[in-house]
Amino acid sequence: MVSFFTNLINGLSLGSIYAIIAIGYTMVYGIAKMLNFAHGDIIMVGAFIAYTVISTFKLPVWLGIVAAVIVCTCLGVAIEKIAYKPLRKASSPLAVLITAIGVSYFLQNSALLIFGSDPKMFSSVVPFGNLTIGPLQIPGTTIVSIVVSLVLVGALQLFINKTKPGQAMLACAQDRDAASLMGISVNGTITLTFAIGSAMAAIAGVLLCSAYPTLSPTTGAMPGIKAFVAAVFGGIGSIPGAMIGGLLLGIIEILSRSYISSQLSDAIVFSVLILVLLVRPTGIMGKVIQEKV
Amino acid sequence: MKNAKRLLALAAAGLMAVGMLAGCGGSSSSGASAEGASSDELVWVIGCSGPLTGDAAAYGNDVVHGAELAAKEINEAGGINGYQIKYIYGDDEHDTEKAINAYNTMKDDGMQIFLGCTTTAPTVAVAAETLNDNMFQLTPSGSALDCIANDNCFAVCFNDPQQGAKSAEYISTHFPDAVIATIYDSSTAYSAGIEATFEAEAANLGLKVVSTEAFTGDTKTDLSAQIQKAKDAGADLVFLPIYYDTAATILTQANNMGYAPAFFGCDGMDGILGVENFDTSLAEGLMLLTPFAADATDDLTVNFVKNFQEAYGKIPNQFGADAYDGMYAIKAALEDAKITPEASVSDICEALKTSMFNITIEGLTGTVTWKADAENLGEPDKTPKAVRIENGAYVSIED
């Protein structure tokens, strides 16, 4: 029984990190209607910036996190302006998708050139150790990542529903042309979305590497794909959906690894995705859009 | 105004594209580093290949650099049979198709002897080509049996079954009562190969293996479930036939989970003390079988590590050492065969095939000879050293 709860906690820990990454994916998709495959690599950049500031320059942890957030925000906005915006009006939505994959490789290879291929061990930014409840040990990083992901989802929901720029995001997500007719700057709103998504990627990167300490230029790739799955799982475009999808995915992954097969865990995770999509094509929290003739 | 903006965006996109090209060009492409050999002079063209970019780049870079260092030293000391080495290398990205491309490119550049590849799958793929071309192939670190299945292929490193069996023997002699758990990487031939023989040999020797768990290249960042299972099964010795980067993750995660068994690894574990920012106190007591220890105190190792660090800015791991020994093995075999670069690729191969069995290398990875019996043809004969990490350094625990 104790080991079941330990596994559950491990699953929550993994899932909350997937959730933070998935929120970034889902926001960008909801508003810009594009899959930003470079999102996972922005996570990696965030982790490297934090690593450089904290471990190489020996500066305080908070400064590392702030630096990672600032650099990733700027990077996200720059990528959007340089690589995605010129293609937004392209005839095929594939153009921007391919560009996103290109940006992903660009970031990975740049990191390889700058930081080298040797993996680095990221020291956890969480200042306290395990919390012991009876026979259960809950790692500090797990508590922090769950709390952070909950706070971020709450804050984002408030931001979107209660503020002007947030309302503008909602409007753009619903109908971009109509929004621009109403005087909303669509380009500005999309830029803001990328800025927020990338800032969250930086936080995700720091948390990811605090919990799973190996840092290399490909660190962000697989979590990025899993988080994309989580976003689809929860209903792409929905922020609470991304949160739930991420948590469920993490728990399924760890439980299947513990109780079914450690080799088949990924196969199981993706099978679950296919099953969910067969039953609910829009994902768990996805909106069912009725086609009007 | 609008046009100007567009132009700016285009220019920026162009800049990014150029950056990308530079990113690739900087590390791939077979860069030649002929030391003091002009083009019309007769030289030995020796090619090497490994993943210089991508996930396995840590191994490829060390192999290419280790071989380069040896080639440089040999050239400074007068070359092989009086001829200089022209050393070329390619990036195979740990991909079979790219490995064959890199091999063909080097062949176009006049390669006569192939020292490669670094990783197992590309080595096996290229072995089919070298057999067709009758090109001599010596892999520094391709460890599956398939790598040296053809009689023109030799290896510097131990093969996977040797390591698995040796580990089981070692554990049964020194820790007969150990309760053992294994965590291995089912997505690499290296790890899966060692695990398979270890399991068979452990059963023979009556070792108590209570849990065998796998992970793959895609799931290697989080191993909490596998560690938890080993812990639940009551294992007090965890066998890790895996590469050091994942091992560092396991040691860190096990420590976070309050689990402190004895850890035992193979040659892939070498390098763990060099992982940047790794808390080496976690590796205290870790045991591994390795042919090479960067902190050994013999002159050969000390000089190699010093020169390698000066030239490439990092401490070499066993891959670099295997490649370095490989280059010297080629030198010794060519000297034994007494041939010159005028000979054809095929003639060189035939000569080396015999000479490899006549030579003995006093190398970084120990005293090496090559086995000539039909069953183990092309396998190196050397003894792995068992070491334990104490106070952040390797200490020999060989009886």
**Is B38 domain-assigned?**
no
B175-193 pLDDT, tens per residue?
999 999 999 998 888 899 8
User: A56 to chain B: nearest residue by CA?
Assistant: B277
Residue B10 has pLDDT above 70, yes or no: no
Number of domains making up chain B: 2
User: What is the per-residue pLDDT for B36?
Assistant: 44
Please check whether residue B29 lies inside any domain of the structure. no
Ordered DSSP codes for A210-270? HHS-EE-TTTTHHHHHHHHHHHHHH-TT-HHHHHHHHHHHHHHHHHHHHHT-SSSHHHHHH
| Residue B345 Cα, gap to closest chain A Cα (Å) | 34
The pLDDT of residue B37: 44
pLDDT at A104: 94
Evaluate whether residue B387 is within a structural domain.
Answer: no
**Do residues B217 and B251 share a domain?**
yes
Predicted local distance difference test score (pLDDT) of residue B243: 85
Residue B265 pLDDT level (bands cut at 50, 70, 90): very high
CB contact under 8 A, B225 and A139: no
Residues of chain A with pLDDT under 50: none
Binary contact (B279, A121; C-beta < 8 A): yes
Residues B274 and B347 in one domain: no
Position A135 scores a pLDDT of 79
Average pLDDT value for residue range B153-158: 91
Answer yes or no: are the C-beta atoms of A38 and A104 closer than 8 Å. Answer: yes
Is the confidence at residue B24, as pLDDT, over 70? no
- The verdict on B254 and B335 lying in the same domain is no
Is residue B35 included in any domain, yes or no? Answer: no
User: How high is the pLDDT of residue B21?
Assistant: 44
Q: Tell which of B238, B255, B290 closes a domain.
A: B290
Same domain, B262 and B280: yes
Q: What is the pLDDT of residue B38?
A: 46
Tokens, residue B387:
């070491």
Position B33 in a domain: no
CATH code, domain with B88: 3.40.50.2300
Q: Range of B205's domain?
A: 161-290
Q: Is residue B1 part of a domain?
A: no
pLDDT digit string, tens, across residues B56-85: 777 899 999 999 999 999 999 999 999 999
**Is pLDDT above 60 for B17?**
no
Looking at residues B273-291, what average pLDDT do you find? 85
**Res B27 pLDDT > 50:** no
Residues B244 and B272 in one domain: yes
**What's the CA angle centered on A205, arms B22 and B57, to 5 degrees?**
40
Contacts of B19 in chain A (CB under 8 A): 106, 110
pLDDT at B317: 81
Tell me what pLDDT residue B262 has.
Answer: 93
Which of the pair, B328 or B32, is modelled with greater confidence? B328
Instruction: Based on the fold, state whether residues B171 and B286 are members of the same structural domain.
Output: yes
pLDDT at B13 over 80: no
Strand positions, DSSP E, chain A: 120-121, 131-133, 136-138, 214-215
CA nearest neighbour of B55 among A249, A119, A98, A211? A119
Q: Which parts of chain B are beta strand (E)?
A: 44-50, 85-91, 113-115, 136-139, 153-155, 179-185, 208-215, 237-240, 262-265, 287-290, 361-363, 366-370, 380-381, 385-390, 393-396
Contacts with B225 from chain A: Cβ below 8 Å: 7, 10, 254, 257-258, 262, 265
Give the pLDDT score at B22: 42
Cβ–Cβ gap A82/B13 under 8 Å? yes
Greater model confidence, B55 or B110: B110
* pLDDT value for B25: 36
Residue with tokens 């800015």: B313
B23–A130 CB contact, under 8 Å: no
Q: Using an 8 Å CB-CB cutoff, list chain A residues near B186.
A: 263
Question: Which of B270, B290, B310 is at the close of a domain?
Answer: B290
A212 with B249: Cβ contact below 8 A: yes
Asked if the structure places residue B396 within a domain, the reply is no
Q: Are residues B177 and B254 in the same domain?
A: yes
- Is the pLDDT at B341 greater than 90? The verdict is yes
**DSSP string computed for B83-145:** B-EEEEEEE-TT-HHHHHHHHHHHHHTT--EEE--SSHHHHHHHHHHHHHHT-EEEESS--SG
Q: Is the pLDDT of residue B9 over 70?
A: no
Mean pLDDT score of chain B: 85
Same domain, B356 and B250: no
Q: Give the pLDDT band of residue B28 (cuts 50, 70, 90).
A: very low
User: What is the longest distance spanned by two Cα atoms in chain B?
Assistant: 80
pLDDT value for A293: 55
- Together in a domain, B281 and B348: no
Q: Distances from the Cα of B154 to the Cαs of A216, A280, B124, B144, B369, in angstroms? A: 32, 56, 12, 12, 11
* pLDDT for position A133: 81
Strands B385-390 and B393-396: antiparallel
Asked if the peptide bond before residue B117 counts as cis, ω within 30 degrees of 0, the response is yes
CB contacts under 8 A, A 164-193 vs B, are none
Question: What pLDDT was estimated at residue B4?
Answer: 52
Q: Which amino acid is at A280?
A: R
Least Cα separation, residue B297 to chain A (angstroms): 25
pLDDT above 70 (res B7)? no
DSSP structure class, residue A85:
G
Average pLDDT for B251-261: 88
Mapping DSSP to helix (H, G, I), strand (E, B) and coil, where does residue B389 land?
strand
Query: Is there a single domain that holds both residue B197 and residue B154?
Result: no
Domain membership flag for residue B13: no
What sign for the dihedral angle of Cα B103, B106, B112, B114? negative
What's the rounded mean pLDDT across residues B15-24? 45
Q: Are residues B242 and B274 in the same domain?
A: yes
Listed residues B271, B290, B309: the one ending a domain: B290
Coil, strand, or helix at residue A133?
strand
Report residue B87's pLDDT band, with 50, 70 and 90 as the boundaries. very high
Question: What integer is the mean pLDDT of B353-362?
Answer: 93
Q: Is A80 exposed, middle or buried (0-12, 13-18, 19+ CB in 10 A)?
A: buried
What's the pLDDT at B19? 45
Domain shared by B262 and B229, yes or no: yes
